[in-house]
Amino acid sequence: MLGLYLHVPFCAAICNYCTFNRGLFDAGLKTQYLEALEREIRLAGEGSPADTIYFGGGTPSLLAPADVAGLLLACRDAFAVSRDVEITLEANPETVTAARLAGYREAGVTRVSFGVQSFRDEELRRLSRLHSADCARTAVTEARVAGFDNISLDLMMWLPEQRLDQWLDSIDALVAVGPEHASLYLLELYPNAPLKEDMARAGWSQAPDADAADMYLEGLRRLDDAGYRQYEISNVSRPGRECRHNLKYWQDGEWLGFGCGAHSTRANARWKNVASTDDYIERMRAGRPTASERRELSPQVHLEEALFTGLRLAEGLDLAAILKRYGVDVLARYGPAPEPFVEMGLLIYHADHLALTRRGMLLSNEVFGVFIDASVR
Ligand code: SF4
């Protein structure tokens, strides 16, 4: 079944480390954007079955519940949305109230994913986030009261001035709050990030690389102890509460993305909408295509992508499924190339699966390189 991704490119303020496709919220622009988004959904729909919908951003919780309800109605009109659909909405803690969360629930949202990033106020301030740790706790409590029984929290590690103990404080605070799901990301400092200047000015540093590895491994160990199960490099959940939408990205599934900058993958093709909000609205108004890049996936590229994304999963690559779908025996095709990583303890074979170990997850890009077979492209 298809996953549907809806991009909401608006934020109340721009965080100093952010590379996402977003801009400042503007009520007039939002109205125009929602019209365009709804039109794109309705035009794309041909009744195909869909079982996940994901509002990503930006900050989707800047949309009013009625906006979300309108978009969901368009999805239901245009696609055969299954009865047990998972509908996720990303939310920033400072944007929600009890009433707003109840409104999302009423609109049909089943899962809320809060961008918490840290439970330490000084770390949040360094990231120029608008919320505090208490604000995040309150948002989760209000989401529970509104009836959400599927909540995810994002945390970021390797923050300026953060050391292992401080990172583990945030992990402990997350466990105390008790979400069903958590995503752990490593802060990536892109070259022109304003955060880089802030760090230089204030003399903030990141911990050494080896400490970042410890943060990852120790954080996951604490989550193991608390009963969470790691199912992907950056994601853990209570059993059965994996994000069904994101699993489509890692399990070689198909999805349609709507809105500026959204990606789609379907029927051996991949395409991406124009990134600019204005350009996207303009094109939808003029009836011009919104996709700026489209490429057909050759069988080899499709296979490679299935290998990379499948290896991100803790259960690893299902070698029998790859053979069935692509007619490729991975072990025969890549021969002894993965062996050095097996010997180093970064890759492991188990029950017809090839999987990264946790240490292998830290070095996943090096391991993925084994499966790029330029000669057969
Ligand atoms: S709220 Fe999220 S999308 Fe918006 S600027 Fe901050 S990090 Fe980027």
Ligand 1: nearest atom to the Cα of 11: 4
Nearest to 6 by CA among 75, 73, 64: 75
* Mean pLDDT, residues 224-232: 98
Pocket probe for ligand 1: among 7, 10, 15, the residue whose CB has the most ligand atoms within 8 Å is: 15
pLDDT band at residue 373 under the 50/70/90 scheme: low
Ligand 1: nearest atom to the Cα of 92: 1
What pLDDT shows up at residue 295? 92
Share of the chain above pLDDT 90, in %: 86
Alpha-carbon distance of 310 to 327, in angstroms, equals 16
* Other beta carbons less than 10 A from residue 282's beta carbon: 15
Q: Is 80 exposed, middle or buried (0-12, 13-18, 19+ CB in 10 A)?
A: middle
C-alpha of residue 296 to centroid of ligand 1, in Å: 31
C-alpha of residue 97 to centroid of ligand 1, in Å: 19
* Other beta carbons less than 10 A from residue 38's beta carbon: 21
DSSP assignment letter at 313 = B
Ligand 1: nearest atom to the Cα of 57: 3
Ligand 1: nearest atom to the Cα of 22: 3
Ligand 1: nearest atom to the Cα of 14: 5
73 pLDDT above the threshold of 50: yes
C-alpha of residue 18 to centroid of ligand 1, in Å: 6
Ligand 1 atom 7, closest CA? 18
C-alpha of residue 25 to centroid of ligand 1, in Å: 11
What pLDDT shows up at residue 72? 98
Nearest to 119 by CA among 151, 88, 165: 165
Handedness of CA 332, 312, 315, 321 (dihedral sign): negative
Ligand 1 atom 3, closest CA? 58
pLDDT band at residue 374 under the 50/70/90 scheme: very low
